[in-house]
């Protein structure tokens, strides 16, 4: 057993991981383990005095259960006469073969994590029921189905989204009566910058990923253009309640928007679509806030955003019907209002390729250890990964405004004063 790690990359990005670095807490060292790292996540231990706290590993039983079945389904069983990808449609099989065939990839092979993520979503929809016995996926308490692919940042989530759209749309266009699929998609982004980046998911758009990454065989690309993809920022899901309308001070006296009118406004050019698919990018912003949850500060703001996001989808589902909402996130956690070791993870995560997996496969930049100017390590540097916000110097600065925010605050105060002066002058013209 070595005391440290001399090389982090131990797997190939195009193959299933078969080795991983395993931490041994007692000796504070690593060993190279054979096999694949179990799906799970690490949270901070409750003891803040622990030096180099490795945290507590919490497995994801559902993902570990599904992984083995996906591998069997992918490989088939020739001895028992079971073909690979049993149960899939002709279109799905053609796409899977295209995605796996190096000769058709034009030098742009997909990473294993991308293929596993889309295969998992396909398996849950198309695999024979006998293969899915015992697999129970919790919902989020709402009325539409959610499935989450947990992928580390930098592993190509947007490409998986384009594969998802192609799979759904081409199956629906080929067989319109098949209720398992949809050809209309609402993609919800966490911000304007991301929304603009996700425009590559529109099949007819310039620079779309379907052409750029050869997502679809050439003979199917024209068919794919029949699909409708609307990309909206989450703010577009905001609405006014009756209570907010009553408190409105403007001259606009219209009542709260009906679900039908709201749906037409959000869906735009696919306003008449029914049973459409939702894709939530950075889906950790979209979660249901429990009635008894008590949050403060930034977490309270996050809860308000989540309420708008999920509440909007609820209204769309009520009016048109959401077939499935697919969540993509590297960190699908929700706040609990409690200690850091009591974080909640989405219960509907069905595939996982975390940051450690991505580092070991060479898909993301590797971390560096801080050293002194003389190149030597020092015991003075202790792990603060989990407890950084408990450090006094950090804690006292958390609520300090940046210079830009302070300038905006001063400008806002000045504007208030100017408006008050103008108002006074208008009411007292003789004084002017």
Q: What is the pLDDT of residues 264-323, one digit of tens each?
A: 999 999 999 999 999 999 999 999 988 777 777 777 888 888 989 999 999 999 999 999
pLDDT for the residue 386: 41
| Residue 80 domain-assigned (yes or no) | yes
pLDDT for the residue 430: 39
| Residue 53 domain-assigned (yes or no) | no
Round to the nearest angstrom and report the end-to-end CA distance of the chain: 86
pLDDT for the residue 375: 59
- Nearest Cα neighbor of 186 from 316, 95, 302, 318 is 316
The answer to which of 85-89, 104-108, 239-243 has the lowest mean pLDDT is: 239-243
Q: What is the mean pLDDT of residues 7-15?
A: 93
Q: What is the mean pLDDT of residues 95-106?
A: 88
Give the count of domains, the chain. Answer: 2
Q: Are residues 211 and 89 in the same domain?
A: yes
From CA 257, how far away is CA 239, in angstroms rounded? 8
Angle formed by the axes of helices 297-319 and 259-267, to 10°? 100
pLDDT for the residue 423: 44
Q: Are residues 75 and 192 in the same domain?
A: yes
Res. 49 pLDDT band, cuts 50 70 90: low
CATH number (domain holding residue 348): 3.40.50
Query: What percent of the chain has pLDDT above 90?
Result: 57
Q: Which helix (H) or strand (E) holds 119?
A: helix 112-126
- For residue 107, pLDDT over 80 is answered with no
Average pLDDT value for the chain: 82
| Residue 35 domain-assigned (yes or no) | no
Residue corresponding to tokens 């079945």: 69
Q: Are residues 351 and 228 in the same domain?
A: yes
Q: Are residues 147 and 68 in the same domain?
A: yes
| Residue 117 domain-assigned (yes or no) | yes
Res. 403 pLDDT band, cuts 50 70 90: low
Distances (CA, A) of 181 to 85, 383, 403: 18, 48, 50
Q: What is the mean pLDDT of residues 159-186?
A: 98
From CA 308, how far away is CA 236, in angstroms rounded? 9
From CA 3, how far away is CA 24, in angstroms rounded? 10
pLDDT for the residue 280: 97
E-only strand ranges, 8-50: 19-24, 29-34, 40-43
pTM: 0.81
- For residue 419, pLDDT over 80 is answered with no
pLDDT for the residue 388: 47
Domain that holds residue 424: 403-432
Q: Which residue has the higher pLDDT, 217 or 390?
A: 217
| Residue 5 domain-assigned (yes or no) | no
**Cα angle at 87 between 86 and 89, to 5 degrees?**
120
Residue corresponding to tokens 């395993």: 22
Cβ partners under 8 Å of residue 343, min gap 6: 43, 333, 334, 335, 336
From CA 80, how far away is CA 122, in angstroms rounded? 22
Q: Are residues 203 and 285 in the same domain?
A: yes
- For residue 238, pLDDT over 70 is answered with yes
Q: Are residues 76 and 133 in the same domain?
A: yes
Contact 260, 305 (CB under 8 A): no
Q: Which residue has the higher pLDDT, 333 or 169?
A: 169
Q: Are residues 297 and 429 in the same domain?
A: no
Q: Are residues 73 and 211 in the same domain?
A: yes
pLDDT for the residue 429: 44
Q: Are residues 301 and 431 in the same domain?
A: no
Q: What is the mean pLDDT of residues 221-244?
A: 85
pLDDT for the residue 42: 84
| Residue 378 domain-assigned (yes or no) | no
Q: Are residues 300 and 410 in the same domain?
A: no
Structure tokens at 345: 């993870």
| Residue 391 domain-assigned (yes or no) | no
pLDDT for the residue 432: 35
| Residue 298 domain-assigned (yes or no) | yes
Where a domain ends, among 342, 360, 378?
Answer: 360
């Amino acid at each position: 057993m070595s005391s440290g790690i001399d090389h982090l990359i131990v797997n190939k990005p195009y193959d299933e991981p078969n080795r991983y670095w395993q931490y041994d807490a007692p000796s504070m060292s690593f060993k190279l383990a054979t096999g694949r790292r179990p799906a799970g996540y690490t949270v901070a231990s409750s003891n803040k005095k622990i030096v180099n706290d490795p945290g507590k590993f919490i497995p994801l039983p559902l993902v570990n259960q599904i992984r083995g079945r996906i591998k069997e389904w992918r490989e088939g069983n020739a001895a028992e006469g079971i073909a690979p990808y049993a149960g899939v449609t002709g279109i799905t099989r053609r796409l899977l073969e295209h995605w796996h065939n190096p000769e058709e990839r034009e030098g742009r092979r997909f990473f294993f994590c991308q293929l596993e993520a889309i295969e998992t979503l396909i398996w849950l929809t198309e695999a024979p029921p006998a293969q899915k016995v015992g697999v129970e996926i919790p919902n989020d308490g709402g009325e539409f189905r959610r499935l989450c692919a947990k992928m580390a940042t930098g592993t190509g989530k947007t490409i998986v989204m384009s594969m998802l759209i192609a799979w759904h749309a081409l199956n629906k266009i080929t067989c319109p009566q098949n209720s398992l699929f949809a050809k209309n998609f609402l993609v919800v982004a966490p911000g304007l910058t991301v929304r603009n980046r996700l425009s590559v998911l529109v099949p007819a758009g310039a620079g779309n990923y379907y052409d750029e990454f050869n997502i679809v065989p050439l003979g199917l690309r024209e068919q794919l253009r029949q699909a409708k993809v609307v990309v909206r920022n989450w703010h577009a899901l905001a609405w006014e309640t009756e209570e907010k309308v009553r408190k409105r001070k403007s001259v606009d006296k219209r009542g709260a928007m009906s679900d039908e009118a709201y749906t037409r406004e959000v869906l735009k050019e696919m306003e008449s679509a029914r049973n459409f698919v939702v894709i939530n990018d950075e889906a950790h912003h979209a979660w249901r806030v429990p009635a008894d949850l008590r949050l403060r500060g930034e977490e309270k703001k996050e809860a308000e955003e989540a309420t708008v996001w999920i509440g909007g989808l609820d209204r769309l589902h009520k009016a048109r019907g959401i077939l499935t909402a697919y969540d993509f996130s590297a960190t699908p956690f929700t706040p609990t209002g409690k200690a850091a070791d009591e974080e909640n993870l989405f219960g509907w995560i069905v595939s996982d390729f975390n940051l450690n997996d991505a580092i070991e496969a060479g898909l993301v930049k590797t971390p560096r250890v801080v050293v002194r100017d003389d190149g030597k390590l020092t015991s003075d540097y202790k792990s603060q990964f989990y407890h950084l916000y408990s450090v006094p110097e950090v804690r006292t600065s958390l609520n300090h405004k940046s210079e830009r925010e302070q300038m905006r605050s001063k400008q806002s105060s000045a504007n208030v004063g100017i408006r008050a002066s103008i108002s006074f002058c208008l009411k007292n013209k003789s004084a002017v």
